[in-house]
Amino acid sequence: MIPPRDDLQQMWRAGSGGLAGPTAELIHNVQGKMLDFDRTIRWRDLRETAAAVFIAIVFSWFAIRGGAPLERFANIWLAGWGVCIVFFLRRYSQASRKPLPDMTLSAYSHALQERYERQIRLLKNAKYWYVFPFWVGMMLNAVAYLEHHGSIVRFLILSAGVTVFSGAIWWLNESIAAGYIESKRRELLARMENGED
Amino acid sequence: MRSETEAGSEREATLVRLIEQYKPALWRLVSSYEAEPSRREDLFQEIALGLWQAIPRFRGDSSERTWLYRIAHNIAISALDSRRRRERQESPMSSSADYASPTHAADEAVLEDEQRQALFDAIRRLPAVDRQLMVLYLEELSYEEIEQISGLSQSAIATRLSRGRVRLTEAVRGKERRHDSAAR
């Protein structure tokens, strides 16, 4: 049985002032947004693939062009790393996608939090799938350079540069980016349970 | 087999029907999340977009009404979360009181308007879960329907609604008291 309307319900029902514009206009805007959404997804996919293809082509070209076996191996390694990055970036973009809103409200808020957690895990694991393979490839190149040119000073400068750069990427992912997403996750949790404003 | 054009037209017709049928309810829902009119419009569009995307997935496992409220609330929560993230670096927005009606007018219509405003402001200040439940209650959905939408048990719903009703009633009465003392 439906209980009689209370005062709050009556007051609420009267609160439709400033209603959204005509439906036809709304549908038109929605279709426009839909096209923008599709274009954004296509452009992102294209950009990621193009970046990886570029990296793979450049290092493959270095490998084909010649050099010592170690240098070739390092360049093939880096070309392979470029291809792997595409795989992981695609995984990252999937992890970043919002959950489907058809689920119950509690399942959806869990899914939103899990989405943050997936992003955090992926960023914390960047040292394995992003930083370390890059560092290995570049260090192999540095060793090949040392073998070929015999300049220990240049080798040390190159190694230090690659290591500092890799360390910075690691730190950015693990501390800054993951920390930022973690704070967002906590904020969402607080808003769900404690309210805000 | 139906052509893609036919499916597209059917989908559009469904969206138009849903919007027409639930427009006032969706607008009230949007108003429980956003105080500023332009943001309400944006959120309304976000919800319509979400419905457009979700229409092909609707299999009739639940009623259309509960399905629609699930989508609308979930999109609203998510959109609010995204907006707050974007605004974090910017200066704080003006409070919802900026959109309230004048406080010193004495006639009854103004008081009703102020009370309604106080009700919406109080709903916006509720924790997200309580706000969702309160909106569903105010839209006069049954406990069974609220359970289907929220995924919470009926006893949990009752507890949260009872707490929410007290907060909202206090907010509305507080506005009434302030109005009375201002009139004197």
pLDDT of residue B92: 45
Quick one: which of A89, A179, A84 has its CA closest to A137?
A84
* Chain A residues close to B27, C-beta within 8 Å: 16, 18-20
ipTM entry: 0.75
Number of CB atoms found within 10 A of residue B6's CB: 10
pLDDT tens, B39-96? 888 899 899 989 988 999 898 888 999 999 999 999 998 888 888 777 765 644 444 4
The answer to whether A66 contacts chain B (CB < 8 Å) is: no
Cα A33 to the center of its chain, rounded Å: 23
- Asked whether B175 and B115 are in contact (CB, 8 A), the reply is yes
pLDDT of residue B108: 66
pTM of the model: 0.74
**How far, in Å, CA of A190 to CA of A196, rounded?**
8
Domain architecture of chain B: domains with CATH: 1-93 (1.10.1740.10), 96-184 (1.10.10.10)
pLDDT of residue A34: 72
Number of CB atoms found within 10 A of residue B30's CB: 23
Percent of chain A with pLDDT over 90: 17
The partner residue sitting opposite B116, judged by closest CB among A11, A195, A197, is: A11
pLDDT of residue B148: 92
Quick one: which of B138, B100, B12 has its CA closest to A34?
B12
pLDDT of residue A19: 66
Do A20 and B125 make contact, defined as CB atoms within 8 angstroms?
Answer: no
**How far, in Å, CA of A157 to CA of A146, rounded?**
11
Taking CA–CA distances from B11, the nearest residue in chain A reads A27
**pLDDT tens, position by position, for chain A (197 residues)?**
344 558 888 888 886 666 666 777 777 777 777 777 667 767 876 776 787 788 888 888 888 887 788 989 999 999 998 888 877 777 777 767 778 888 888 888 888 888 888 888 888 888 998 899 999 999 999 999 888 888 889 899 999 999 999 999 999 988 888 888 888 888 888 877 766 54
Is the pLDDT confidence value at B104 over 70? no
**How far, in Å, CA of B99 to CA of B121, rounded?**
10
The residue written with tokens 């290995």 in the block is: A136
pLDDT of residue B105: 45
User: Distance, in angstroms, between A176 CA and closest chain B CA?
Assistant: 16
pLDDT of residue B183: 64
* Chain B residues close to A101, C-beta within 8 Å: 50, 54, 70-71, 74-75, 78
**How far, in Å, CA of A195 to CA of B127, rounded?**
3
Percent of chain A with pLDDT over 70: 87
Interface of A with B in 126-185 (CB under 8 A): 184
**How far, in Å, CA of A135 to CA of A133, rounded?**
5
pLDDT of residue B103: 44
Do B16 and A104 make contact, defined as CB atoms within 8 angstroms?
Answer: no
Do A98 and B77 make contact, defined as CB atoms within 8 angstroms?
Answer: no
pLDDT of residue A3: 44
pLDDT of residue B5: 76
Do B125 and A29 make contact, defined as CB atoms within 8 angstroms?
Answer: no
Interface of A with B in 10-29 (CB under 8 A): 11-16, 18-21, 23-24, 26-27, 29
